[in-house]
Amino acid sequence: MSVQFFQDLSISNLTLASLKKMGYKEPTEIQAKAIPLILQRKDLIAQAQTGTGKTAAFGIPIVEIINSKQRKIQALILVPTRELAMQVTKEIKDIGRFKRIFVLAVYGGKSIQRQIEFLQKARDVVVVGTPGRVKDLINRGHLKLNHVRILVLDEADRMLDMGFIEDIREIISHLPEEKQNLLFSATMPKAVLNLAKEFLNPEFEIIKVKPEEIVIDRIKQMAYKIKTQNRFLKLVEILKEYGDIKTIIFTQTKKVADEVAYKLKNQGFKSSSIHGDFSQIKREKVLRDFKADEFKILVATDIAARGLDIKGVDLIINYEIPRDPDSYIHRIGRTGRAGKRGLAISIFSYAENKYFRNIKSRTQANIELIL
């Protein structure tokens, strides 16, 4: 049966009212595929890129399944970054607003004592957290997970890249054996499949949403082939051409991100960098200022890219073309959201031509090449 409306998904009236208030009109592909299976209490692994609505794909059924009157933690969502923890927490709170679902985010960089105090109030039925902080709270005896009914590993590929596998194993050892396991991942490398085989029911379902069906059609893509020494000049040229619009510039390394932001400031552009070396307080301030249009140009590394909760990005610039096509799709997926058109421009040198060819082959996109 074709799913066109949220009403077709056997969702309660209270949750439907929340979705309407959030401006959700019809389910995305990942939501239409995942929600019925999760409501049937199936284990699943879902491959979906940033911007597909994957948080609601597991958030909606979580709100439907758990018992908000039972003041025990019934759902645990593990995420790779603090930013994503905050983003997921807010969305599930919004989805569960009329069911009075209490959700707690736990992550490093904030007072652990404050998070312990929230846990001691015993109101929260959903916990969203980074593996390190979740493990710490378990070991201190403050996070009791023996009533968890649903475990979600969000951005599983990224958590593996960041070395969280042993933390994840330890956390899962504290969970009931009888629970539903959901694994969401942007890519499906062998390591992710091995993780699914290790923790999911052997009869788990697999869902895939093709990236090109999600973002490519709404994003105009261009690329400039330049000599390496002309890279920054081309960047300035592009920024001057497109004017004062909300822009994210992606680099391969933290060092280059800082250098580009510094050089842009010297050229008179209001900009800032963000990457994994920033303290939590500094990262939050940069994001807050960017959202408030205190500056329009954010220079970011890939590690900061996938967890950012930023809306209304008009332009993506790949200052250095990514080495793999999936990273490219993640990057340009920051624009062209909520039905709006987006623009993505890549800058690459002659030595990087093979990476450009790989991206074109993988995405099957019409990328306008300007020599």
Q: Which stretches within 4-111 are classed as H helix?
A: 13-22, 29-39, 54-65, 82-95
309: confidence class by pLDDT, cuts 50, 70, 90: low
Distance CA 165, CA 187 (A): 16
Say if residue 2's pLDDT is above 80: no
Task: Say yes or no: 221 and 360 in one domain.
Answer: yes
3 state DSSP class of 197? helix
Distance from chain centroid for Cα 219? 19
Task: Say yes or no: 291 and 198 in one domain.
Answer: no
Give the domain extent around 250: 213-370
Indicate whether 194 belongs to any domain. Answer: yes
77: confidence class by pLDDT, cuts 50, 70, 90: very high
Which of 172, 187, 209 represents a domain boundary (last residue)?
209
Which of 150, 178, 209 represents a domain boundary (last residue)?
209
Distance CA 182, CA 38 (A): 8
Q: How far is CA 13 from CA 10, 30, 312, in A?
A: 9, 21, 30
The sheet with strand 297-301 has its strands ordered as 271-274, 297-301, 247-251, 315-318, 342-349, 219-226, 367-370
Task: Say yes or no: 145 and 291 in one domain.
Answer: no
Looking at residue 145, its pLDDT comes to: 95
User: Among residues 312, 311, 304, which one has the least CA distance to residue 330?
Assistant: 304
| More confident call, 71 vs 240 | 240
Task: Say yes or no: 42 and 186 in one domain.
Answer: yes
Total domain count, the chain? 2
pLDDT, mean of residues 112-130: 91
Task: Say yes or no: 217 and 205 in one domain.
Answer: no
Looking at residue 211, its pLDDT comes to: 55
Indicate whether 247 belongs to any domain. Answer: yes
Task: Say yes or no: 366 and 353 in one domain.
Answer: yes
Task: Say yes or no: 257 and 172 in one domain.
Answer: no
CATH code for position 34: 3.40.50.300
Task: Say yes or no: 194 and 224 in one domain.
Answer: no
Task: Say yes or no: 148 and 245 in one domain.
Answer: no
Task: Say yes or no: 244 and 289 in one domain.
Answer: yes
- Tens of pLDDT, residue by residue over 128-180, are 999 999 999 999 999 999 999 999 999 998 888 788 999 999 999 999 999 99
Q: How far apart are the first and last CA of the chain?
A: 48
